[in-house]
Amino acid sequence: MLHIALYQPIIPQNVGNIARTCVGMDAHLHIIGPTIVDLSDKAVKRAGLDYWDDLVLTQHDSPDAFFSWAEQSGGTMYAVTKFATTRYDAPAYKDNDILLFGGEREGLPPQVHARFTEEQKIAIPIPGAVRSYNLGNAVAITLATAMGGACLWPDDWAPKDGFVPPNTFTLETDADSGSSA
């Protein structure tokens, strides 16, 4: 199981979206406090997060508490940051690795960046004309890549409920249609 760590998140919708991704990809979510996001049972139920009971969640009261846990975890930790020079798809990910993401406004503070080697700081390229990716999208992109790198996708995968969509698109050539161009 991979670990997703959010450093002091402030947008509840992002946390909910990332939690759903973690449930779907069987990842452990860590929330590093302090945070203003209300994760109480009442707030979660009000938000309609019906998958919350399936989430593996650890809340850390402080960055120090999180980093203390991480040192004992046995996994390699990567800081996902736009200031990195290593691409997110370069590491040799393995089971139990940790992907750390900064808060929505401030990212990761300098003292957190200082904990990582250049190889442990990873970035998602942004070839288009946007300043950054949404936090939930960045988590999904990186987590899916790390799952593949760590060979954690199930071998017996099948679409949910056995549904296989029909092929709704066929390429018709001029020869097939009988017309001559």
pLDDT at position 100 is 98
CATH of 3-155, one of 3.50.80.10, 3.90.79.10, 3.40.1280.10, 1.10.8.60: 3.40.1280.10
Residues of the chain with pLDDT under 50: none
Q: Determine the pLDDT at residue 163.
A: 63
Determine the pLDDT at residue 112: 96
Amino acid 178: pLDDT = 56
Give the list of residues 6+ apart from residue 101 with CB closer than 8 angstroms, or none: 4, 5, 6, 7, 80, 108, 135, 138, 139
Q: pLDDT tens, 65-102?
A: 999 999 999 999 999 998 999 999 999 999 999 999 99
Give the pair of three-digit tokens for residue 63: 């960055």
In sequence order, which residues have a C-beta less than 8 Å from that of residue 17 and are 6 or more positions away?
136
- pLDDT at position 158 is 74
Q: How far apart are CA 154 and CA 25, in angstroms?
A: 10
